[in-house]
Amino acid sequence: MKIILKEYLASLRERGDLDHAVLPNLLSELGLTVLNTPMIGTRQNGVDIAAVGKIRGEDDKKCLYLFCIKAGNISRNDWSASPQSVYQELNQIRDVYIRSNVSSEHTDLPIKICLCCGGELEETILMDWAGYTENYSSNKINFELWNGDRLAEYMMKVFLARELLEDDLRSNFQKAVATVTEPSTCYAYAFRFLKALLSLEFDNIKQRLFKLRQAYICIHTINGWAIEAGNLESIYTISELGLLLSWDVIRKEKIPNRRTKHYNELVTIQLQFIHLYIQMSEKYFRKTTYPYADKLHALSVAVKSREPVDVNLAMFELVGRLAIRGIWANRLAKLIQDENEETTKHLTDLIQKSIDTIVDVINNNPILNSPLKDDHMIEMALIMMLAQQTNMVDRFLGWLHNVGILTSGALLTNGPYPTCIRDYADLLSHPVDASEDYRKEACAGSILYPFLFLWLHNINKESDIATFVSRLSDSIPDCTHQAWLPDEKTDDQLWSGGTNHGVCIIGLNPKIGREKMSEALNNAYDKYNAISEISAMKRNLYPLLLTACRHYRMPVPPTFWFSGPLSLFR
């Protein structure tokens, strides 16, 4: 395990990985209080992270720790070849930071200047490091090397010690790392590990925070190995899974009247999970999607399958991921718009990139006009929600029109019409035949058609809508057209993949007309309004609910079909 961790640490970048993802959490669990972490565009005077306290089992008295962080191995070029070299930054710490940046409450503390790297000091600079530390060490200032070996040792001690991880947990974590070349297997082991780790009973709030940090470090480790193996599928799915399972722990912490240190730490770790998800999704899209989205059939061909089913499933999965990432970026941009101009601009760029890429993917992959699964309504609802948030609905109305024509037309010709069947083997042979019995089974219920019907009123002529309704009535008269709303059990089950919750709203057959369907939805919402009590909704993080719906294949509630509250149906 230590070898695995050392190789993982050596692969980390300085910015965003080692200084934000790993070291701050590690220092907190070692017993130190982190005073600051790196910020882009600010003068740091050589110090990437400052912390104060005593490392349990090592320090006899409180110390001020000042970290100079570098990625991977430190070579001769890293030592003295540029203004950002180790030598220059160590000098800045001694000559500038210690003299002007240390607060008065810490001026009397002994100082430890730590050169931190994920790899090792190369042999060519060992003598330079030894000479430098000997020359400038004093009674007040000491130097320490925190290399990959030392960091891995601390991680083993703090996060992965045998007394902290039961055998089953450790085994599933190791299997997830060992199977990073196989996305579905890697995800399965990661799910078992994270769900077991984060569903444990916590004796106190400190243990809750520790388990979250432990999960975060382990996810980052799995992702590091998956990137090395070229498995971008796993870095997306596991980061998204971590986001949901961590929220299942964080939501149980009540919001205090006054922000406490512990609550601030919980918010920080929550933001780290969100940041990791955004970071991994962007890495995924840059490699798999952006270069090919505007090329006809390029992404469809990249599925590398002769089965249209595989292409259909993969394309809807892709646009759904783009849509939910855009929704996240939009929400985060609004939350921080007055706090960080640079980050807000980055998020705004991500929103626009998400929209433009979805449009390109739809235009260049016609199979997206013919959803095969009824629950592809989830992806369609997410896309239209993002379109409404960005005032770009007009760019997608033609697509919805095509979907309405082709899905209802496929029912007449017995083509591959949308089905509620989910088993992959059955999807390969769908439709088996044109018999009434088979169609009753394949279209026993639908969440897609009510959603499409309401949107078609914003696009089509009355005659086109009448044709759509007539086709449904003639072809699938026994289909239960429905929608889904959360109930009181949802908040306790949704985040970890539970399905025994929620309320099914039936009686939404398009033949009853728009007004009666809207009335039925509003009556249901008035009667079953538990969605407003879901933790993510109460804390202004509704993208978490939508992420869970997409990840675990739960229908998007009607609340999100159109911008604003459901009352807009009236």
Model confidence over 369-402: pLDDT tens digits? 999 999 999 999 999 999 999 999 999 999 999 9
**The pLDDT of residue 566 is above 60:** no
Residue showing tokens 């006899």 = 60
Which amino acid, 288?
Answer: T
Sequence length of the chain is 570
Query: Quick check: 203 pLDDT over 70?
Result: no
pLDDT of residue 204 exceeding 60, the answer is yes
Average pLDDT (57-70) is 91
Q: Which residues pair with 33 in a beta bridge?
A: 52
Position 310 pLDDT exceeds 50: yes
> Contact, 51 vs 33, CB < 8 A?
yes
Q: If DSSP states are collapsed to H, E and C, what string results for 237-254?
A: HHHHHHHHHHHHHHCCCC
Q: What is the pLDDT of residues 526-537, one digit of tens each?
A: 999 999 999 999
Residue 151's nearest CA partner among 49, 61, 42, 60 is 49
Q: At 141, list the tokens.
A: 């200032």
CA dihedral 348, 349, 350, 353 (to 10 degrees): 130
Residue 518 pLDDT class (50, 70, 90 cuts): very high
pLDDT digits (tens, 9 = 90+) for 252-304: 888 878 878 788 888 888 998 999 999 999 999 999 999 999 999 999 999 99
What are the beta bridge partners of residue 54? none
Q: Is the dihedral of CA 437, 443, 445, 450 positive or negative?
A: negative
Contacts of residue 322, Cβ cutoff 8 Å, sequence gap at least 6:
285, 289, 354, 357, 358, 361
User: If pLDDT is split at 50, 70 and 90, which confidence band does 41 have?
Assistant: very low
Mean local confidence (pLDDT), 315-340: 92
Q: What is the Cα–Cα distance from 185 to 313, expressed in whole angstroms?
A: 19
8 A C-beta contact, residue 113 and residue 90 = yes
% of the chain beyond a pLDDT of 90: 67
Cα–Cα nearest to 442, from 420, 474, 469, 460:
420
* DSSP reduced 3-state for 32: strand
According to the model, what pLDDT value does residue 355 have?
97
Quote the tokens at residue 253.
Answer: 């912490």
Confidence of residue 569 (pLDDT cuts 50, 70, 90): very low
In this prediction, residues 9-27 reach a mean pLDDT of: 74
Largest interatomic CA distance in the chain: 89
- Complete DSSP assignment for 142-204: EEEEE-HHHHHHHHHHHTS-TTTS-HHHHHHHHHHHHTTTSHHHHHHHHHHHHHHHHTSPPSS
CA-based torsion, 303, 304, 310, 312: positive or negative: positive
Strands, E assignment, 476-567: 480-481, 483-485, 503-505
pLDDT digits (tens, 9 = 90+) for 218-259: 898 899 889 989 999 999 999 999 999 999 999 988 887 887
